[in-house]
């Protein structure tokens, strides 16, 4: 598997439901960031979690990080139609200046 694989690849839920996306990576990291991308648009930063943190919240977003399993999850609670987008994780690889993006999860929230 590649650094930064996400699952599921696509997720379709009803408005009001929670959406959970997972990201796995292979190397040591300094931090992990989640981004949202609307179709054909730029990347909007959502949340950053440092390698020594286990959980972080921001509004309706909850991110967890398990460095022993090299995985992270993004939970969006009480989803809205406006949350429809692709979500990517990006890892800041330790000892480098490089960020590696995951393959992304396409979320569709049905009104």
Partner 1 sequence: EPEVTQTPSHQVTQMGQEVILRCVPISNHLYFYWYRQILGQKVEFLVSFYNNEISEKSEIFDDQFSVERPDGSNFTLKIRSTKLEDSAMYFCASRPRLVTDTQYFGPGTRLTVL
Cβ of residue 43: shortest distance to partner 1, in angstroms? 4
Question: What separation in angstroms does the CA of 88 have from each of 37, 52, 111?
Answer: 8, 21, 23
Q: Which is nearer to partner 1, 40 or 111 (CB)?
A: 40
Contacts with partner 1 in 23-82 (CB under 8 A)?
A: 30-31, 33, 35, 40-45, 48, 50
Question: Minimum distance between the CB of residue 25 and partner 1, rounded to whole angstroms?
Answer: 13
Which residue, 33, 14, 6, 26, is CA-closest to 106? 6
Any contact of residue 107 with partner 1 (CB under 8 A)?
no
Interface ranges with partner 1 (CB under 8 A):
4, 30-31, 33, 35, 40-45, 48, 50, 88, 90, 92, 96-104
């Amino acid at each position: 598997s590649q650094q930064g694989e996400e699952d599921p690849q696509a997720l379709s839920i009803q408005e009001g439901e929670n959406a959970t996306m997972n990201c796995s990576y292979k190397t040591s990291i300094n931090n992990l960031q989640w981004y949202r991308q609307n179709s054909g648009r730029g990347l909007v930063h959502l949340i950053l979690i440092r390698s020594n943190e286990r959980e972080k919240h921001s509004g309706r977003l909850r991110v967890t990080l398990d460095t022993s399993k090299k995985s992270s999850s993004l939970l969006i609670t009480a989803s809205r139609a406006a949350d429809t987008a692709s979500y990517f994780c990006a890892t800041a690889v330790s000892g480098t200046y490089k960020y590696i993006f995951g393959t992304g999860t396409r979320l569709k929230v049905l009104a």
